[in-house]
Amino acid sequence: MSNSVSHNLLQQNLLQSKINSSGIPANTLLQPKCIHQVPAQPRKSSSLSKKFCGNSLQKPKLAMGSRRPVTFVPCAVLTTDQHSDQLAGKYNLDGNIELQVYVDASSPGSATKVDIQVSYGGDSLVLHWGGIKDRKEKWVLPSRRPDGTKEYKNRALRTPFAKSGSNSVLKIEIDDPAIQAIEFLIVDESQNRWFKNNGGNFHVKLPLEEKLISNVSVPEDLVQIQAYLRWERKGKQMYTPEQEKVEYEAARTELLEEVARGASIQELQARLTKKTDSGNSQEPSHAGNKEVSKAAKKHESKQVFRTGRIKRKQRDLMKILNKHATKPVDEAKLANEESTKPKALKAVELFAKAKEEQDGASVLNKKIYRLGDKDLLVLVTKVADKIKVHLATDIKEPINLHWALSVNKAGEWLEPPPNVLPQGSVSLNGVVETQFVSSSVDSTYEVQSLEIEMQEESFKGMPFVLCSSGNWIKNQRSDFYADFGVAVKKVQKDAGDGKGTAKDLLDKIADLESEAQKSFMHRFNIAADLINQAKDAGELGLAGILVWMRFMATRQLIWNKNYNVKPREISKAQDRLTGLLQNIYTSHPQYRELLRMILSTVGRGGEGDVGQRIRDEILVIQRNCECKGGMMEEWHQKLHNNTSPDDVVICQALIDYIKSDFDIGVYWKTLNKNGITKERLLSYDRAIHNEPSFRADQKERLLHDLGNYMRTLKAVHSGADLESAITNCLGYSAQGQGFMVGVQINPVSGLPSEVPGLLQFVMEHVEDKNVEVLIEGLLEARQELWALLSKPNDRLKDLLFLDIALDSTVRTAIERGYEELNNAGPEKIMYFISMVLENLALSSDDNEDLIYCLKGWNHALNMLKGNTDNWALYAKSILDRTRLALANKAESYHSILQPSAEYLGSKLGVDQQALSIFTEEVIRAGSAASLSALVNRLDPVLRKTANLGSWQVISPVEVVGYVVVVDELLTVQNKVYEKPTILVARSVRGEEEIPDGTVAVLTPDMPDVLSHVSVRARNSKVCFATCFDSNILADLQACEGKLLRVKPTPADVVYSEVNESELGDASSTNSNEDIPALTLVKKQFTGRYAISSDEFTSEMVGAKSRNISYIKGKLPSWVGIPTSVALPFGVFEKVLSEDSNKAVADKLEILKKKLKEGDFGSLGEIRETVLQLTAPPPLVQELKTKMQSSGMPWPGDEGEQRWEQAWLAIKKVWASKWNERAYFSTRKVKLDHDYLCMAVLVQEIINADYAFVIHTTNPSSGDSSEIYAEVVKGLGETLVGAYPGRALSFISKKNALDSPQVLGYPSKPIGLFIRRSIIFRSDSNGEDLEGYAGAGLYDSVPMDAEEEVVLDYSSDPLVTDGNFQKTILSSIARAGSAIEELYGSAQDIEGVIRDGKLYVVQTRPQM
């Protein structure tokens, strides 16, 4: 978009519309011609011998450095005499209200007087106004003001009109010579009624006095640029020599006028040529074409990257780290709270409801229009063969309806037949006037209404306007229209309650959709009006705008209906909307990813002539190429009426058709491939009926002109078009001869010096078959731009559109390059993955995980190039983590976008299929889809190289059962299957229970081998395995309902279909009947609230505490044991029996009774009730004494709040007796839940570098000669809890403990870390019972919250340093061996590593 002078001042109007600075939107331009023009004085010595060559404007010769005085007489615009008080404009504001503006600067040096008269009888008329300086749109507030003037929000002045008979008058005097114009609106404050200039501001230019500018001339290179702008603005026409002279001098005059207004030559040069990256202005050329051409060639010779490949910089990837993460859960809660606030129905809504219930009719059309602070209801219903039109308004003044009917097309005015006229109607020259009637006195609402009834004939609708107190009321400058033709689309799915959306905003969008359908201008302006509400609603609000805009972009909504709009008005509306989005992008960085997606659906737009060129240039093409009839004329009419993104496709179809030597099949192929059918062409308001037909001799000229025209179309409609985005940021360069060679127009300032060359390289390689070098160039350009995108910039949205285009080109290049990878080795596929991952990271808000994945891939590539052992195993872990990152991104998109898509789409009647796949299609449009495809291609290569096979067997049990496919194991964990069941579950988190009747769980998910669900599967003799092959998994899913035999080995799973006769005893189920009841002995309070580790006995604590006490002092000195104390069995029951807790005890008894009756929802209530307990003083004192005597810190020493934190943690441990997983687990084994008692083991937390779990017998193979262990970074909760990804796993032969073998590298993205603190561990009498593993069912609660940290394994020595890895893993294996030897049986051990020191925190028999 150009910041050029849009029109010669000698041709500009006095009153014109702009996007104003007062916050009042302006949508249209009114440009009356100047009625007095004073030509510039002729230049006697100028030789204008040059001419336009081809399509380029030639400059006249001028002796270098010559200067001359120029007498400049600017036009006193729309004033016939500078020394008289002249009428400057006369306008009809609304009905019979007339505005007249007079401007007078009668004496030199005196103030300019502006006299404003309005034929309006109200007493509360106010002028809302400000001044304009230096071509800027922001209003200044003059110091000289009429009496009664007040400042309005520091943005405008408000001056009351005075009464003069039946008129309102106001005089303003401007004495500041820097003020070039005033802008204003008129408002009746009592009615909040605004009078605008066709929707915009009134703009009054103030006249200049005659000036003599001595010894001033404008440099010829600036005149050249200004002339080029004029030539481009006018469609690059062919000029005669005489026209050329006029145009060239007109360009000079424009610049001299700016000088006359105070602009310096330096300011002109800065605006037209900008500055170089070094900060020095470009040297103006006065030496003619030869010098300019040389400069252009010199500039071209400096371009870099013209070789076959660029050299990418070595970059610190952390510099593109972006942690701007939103909090969708909180915002969803807030939005939901807002959406559930009760709203009182408006009067017209109550009226509509009553009419709908009264008639029992089907609703054909229903719309409520906002008229200032009042409403107008239009309700069209159908009963039998009759159509009824109900109109109602809460306007108090008498109001008349002027109306007609439409028969042939929407919007036509035909006089209605007499039999449909309501009583009291009057026919007036083809239209009917009917007065509204007030509702009855006893009505619950006060409205005026009327009803029109007619037989269903051939009427299409009813156009109308309203008249009240002599004022005409229209619908946004056009007629209202009630459509009879099509009933409101039936909502295919209940829109629901809008939970998880910005419901208020979406409701408003749905209400405004019928207005938005008029044109893109209306839609973009409505979106701009709503954008602040969307921003205030946070992430979900902007998601709502994105969903709406994407419905538009994918043609789910009507683009144009009954409204003609100029391309420049669409462009201006786009520019307004994208400008607001740019501002939010700067001020709210956490929403940038959503804002980029919105921008890509809207297109760039632009002020000035960008949109208007769509209209102008098609006329030039028709004239130059002699194609004024047929399809080209129909397209021309569509372009003038309402241009849309379809025009980009039509233009491309024409180019393809011409290139194919006029093969009409090619034309239709391009159209159809992009969703444009013959029916769609015919559906336009200006339909396209004909196919193109050109002569052979027109081919070259058509290709040239349509190619240029395509750039214009894309500049307005396509936010992701690379060529137009580059041109827009670098500026325009002439493509021909003459003075414009090499001239840049309006480039973005401050671009890194490498960017122009990189973009040139990209354009030179954009169609290369070998896409690798192209993608490198694209990414290098994006990296160079990245820093600029986080800084305020008045051209930020142009940079954003360039970055969006580069991002999009990476995706298309990858898709084009799939064939290139068909026979590629792993190194090339991994390199492509790293490039696409880099592209995704550059476009993402919260990209920390993506960056660490990218660093991992770079490390894997270095391992591969260096022939490092285990490179494929390491790469597989990065691949698994990348998949998790993609899944998280998909889930995030789904939670943010899908509820809004379904709610808004249902209200708008969008196709149900489009709604169901909305988020999926959004993801497919981004780099994540390309990355997923590349990862899937690499996965089998890595598994084969690393000898991983297609399965990891966690619990090797041969079974027979019926296949059942589920989405998540969590959703069925409490279910009971009557038949032996093989569950194929897409998601297994790691902490679930295995349902009764389940004999096998097969999943593509990757729970740790030592996770709760894995341990539970082995204990219950349930087959459990992870499948890495998507084809095998799909085959298993296709076997749903069939009876299969599953036979696992340590590295593979074989399955086959069997007959029911083979079921027999081949498979055992873990149903209740197979499990003997276990008994517990209820523990009693021993009179001790706290005990030290040397007092731990089976009567007082569970096995967890006793084992820690037992191993203390019996292990090698290099194995540390944390200091421990405990709250023994019975303490909870004792606390509950205290008088201070009687209310809690009574409530618990009620809830436990409900639980026994089968009300499982009471479990959560029980846990909440336990947290209400108060601590008896003896408990506090005893615990303090035991902790201090054992050398542990006492939380209360840091203040009462710290003790309260500790007490809350203790209560959470007790309350975990009633968590769902534990409760249902005890029911399965028929444990008496009332007999289950909970001791609390208290230990000081060791803030671990690493945590580990050891099984001293390999749990997958049952091999007792080898130790199996898993290690995570940070605390061990990520290993045993529901944290996705895999731990580092290894085995070690007991006869070779110093030679550990890594089985898998870590892929967990999150690690947990904590400050120095205390942890309270559950230690029940229901853990470690023979035949039942209760460990892990109950909670261990730290006093302080853990911090989640995104992990970077590429700098973790456990992964990257072989010697460090061997030391740590060997010490873990040796500790496991020592503990097993101490107990004489296989052990399940938990521990941590801190600063190289190993600590064991608990051990139990391995189940």
- Three-state DSSP class for 28? coil
Three-state secondary structure string covering 1326-1356 = CCCECCECCCCCCCCEECCCCEEEECCHHHC
Do the beta carbons of residue 631 and residue 606 sit within 8 Å?
A: no
Alpha-carbon distance 1341 to 1319, whole Å? Answer: 6
Burial label for 925, CB within 10 Å (0-12, 13-18, 19+), is middle
Alpha-carbon distance 951 to 247, whole Å? Answer: 77
Q: Name the DSSP letter for residue 398.
A: -
Angle, alpha carbons 269-270-272 (nearest 5°) = 65
Q: Which two tokens stand for residue 1236?
A: 């289950």
- Three-state DSSP class for 641? helix
Q: Are strands 97-104 and 1023-1027 parallel, antiparallel or unpaired?
A: unpaired
Burial label for 1147, CB within 10 Å (0-12, 13-18, 19+), is middle
Length in residues, the chain = 1407
Q: Which residue, chain included where needed, has tokens 């008349």? A: 400
Q: Which residue, chain included where needed, has tokens 């969006």? A: 804
- 402 a catalytic residue: no
Residue 606 backbone dihedrals phi, psi, to 5 degrees:
170, 155
Q: Which two tokens stand for residue 1200?
A: 């009462």
Exposure string (b/e) for 479-498, b if CB count within 10 Å is 16 or more?
Answer: bbbbbbeeeeeeeeeebeeb
Alpha-carbon distance 1303 to 1284, whole Å? Answer: 18
Q: Where are the alpha helices (DSSP H) in 1190-1312?
A: 1200-1215, 1220-1228, 1277-1280
Alpha-carbon distance 1103 to 1088, whole Å? Answer: 18
Alpha-carbon distance 1206 to 1318, whole Å? Answer: 8
Alpha-carbon distance 394 to 374, whole Å? Answer: 6
Query: Among residues 299, 1012, 1233, 1255, which one is catalytic?
Result: 1012
205 forms beta bridges with: 181
Alpha-carbon distance 896 to 636, whole Å? Answer: 41
Residue 144 backbone dihedrals phi, psi, to 5 degrees:
-90, 115
Residue 552 backbone dihedrals phi, psi, to 5 degrees:
-65, -50
Exposure string (b/e) for 945-964, b if CB count within 10 Å is 16 or more?
Answer: ebebbbbbbbbbbebbbbbb
Q: Which two tokens stand for residue 1100?
A: 């007082």
Output the DSSP codes for 1363-1382. HHHHHHHHHHHHHHHHHHHH
Beta strand segments in 352-507, E: 362-371, 374-383, 386-393, 400-403, 426-428, 431-435, 437-438, 448-455, 461-468, 471-473, 480-483
C-alpha radius of gyration, the chain, whole number: 39
Q: Name the DSSP letter for residue 1198.
A: G
Q: How far is CA 355 from the centre of its chain?
A: 41
Residues 6+ apart with CB under 8 A from 369: 375, 376, 378, 475, 480
Taking the CA atoms of residue 342, residue 347, residue 352 and residue 353 in that order, the dihedral angle to the nearest 10 degrees is 40
* Residue 708 to residues 571, 621, 655, 1179, 1274, Cα–Cα distance (Å): 18, 10, 11, 85, 60
Please list the active-site residues. 1012
